[in-house]
Amino acid sequence: MSGHSKWATIKHAKGIADAKRGQKFTKLIKEITVAAKQGGPDPNSNATLRTAILKAKAENMPKDNIERAIKKATGEGGATNYFELTYEGYAPGGVAIIIDTLTDNKNRTAADVRSTLTKLGGSLGSTGCVSYMFQTKGIITYSEEKYTEDQILEAALDNGAEDVSTSDGVIEVTTAPADFATVLEAMQAAGFEQESADIQKIADQTVTLDNEKANKVLKIVERLEDLEDVQMVSTNLDLPDDFEAEA
């Protein structure tokens, strides 16, 4: 898990989270719309929608935005038809990379993903070439400046979390995907304010690269995340302890 924690820390240190908040909202709205269209507008009976709403709230998305996304899915004429497509491949240094997308144009998405990867030294692989290296988990993070690991540990495990770990000032709670919403809601009800909350693909084993190659991988991740159809990018990169991000 250490690779994930470092990556989260680096992202926040570079200010990416704030700079791309609008972009993040767009992706979350798409996720909410698709979930509502597929499983209905009631989050109490639609677990996928409930999870998407909780993720949006964790990013401080306004309630009106969430309600509009649900109405868009169930309104007259319905929402745009989106396809869930996952691409697998390799970044520089042999790093495994998975790109999850929601798209209304398969050809556009495939071309954009392939072009972004190849231009920056990566390559697309066949389905299943790297996905076996990853597990899907719910990840909820807390600041060690606000809480101790023992505080989070007791509350999280009591409410069904799988694990709690700390790295670089970030306390990370891991859950099974099906338990993510329950654990997050229970932690919020207990008064714990999370820094982030998401469903992610976590690598079983990581690859550590030198500064130059690690920055090349991060550049690919950022460029892929900039693509309209890309919802999430996962890698098995573990940043070295002396990592320095390029300005």
pLDDT at residue 77, rounded to an integer: 53
78 has a pLDDT exceeding 90: no
Two structure tokens written together for 65: 């935005």
With a CB cutoff of 8 Å and minimum separation 6, the contacts of 113 are: 87, 99, 101, 124, 224, 227, 230
Average pLDDT estimate for 211-224: 91
pLDDT tier for residue 49 given thresholds of 50, 70 and 90? very high
| Plot region of 40 (φ>0 → left; ψ -120 to 50 → alpha; else → beta) | left
pLDDT at residue 108, rounded to an integer: 96
pLDDT at residue 25, rounded to an integer: 87
Mean pLDDT of the chain: 87
3-state SS assignment for residue 210: coil
pLDDT at residue 211, rounded to an integer: 87
92 has a pLDDT exceeding 60: yes
Numbers of helices and strands, H then E, in the chain: 9, 10
pLDDT at residue 115, rounded to an integer: 97
CB-side neighbour CA atoms (13 Å) of 39: 15
Q: What percent of the chain has pLDDT over 70?
A: 89
pLDDT tier for residue 72 given thresholds of 50, 70 and 90? confident
Average pLDDT estimate for 93-112: 95
3-state SS assignment for residue 202: strand
Tell me how far apart the alpha carbons of residues 99 and 86 are, in angstroms, rounded to a whole number.
6
- 154-206 pLDDT, tens per residue? 999 999 999 999 988 899 999 999 999 999 999 999 999 999 898 999 999 99
pLDDT at residue 90, rounded to an integer: 96
pLDDT at residue 236, rounded to an integer: 93
136 against 245, higher pLDDT: 136
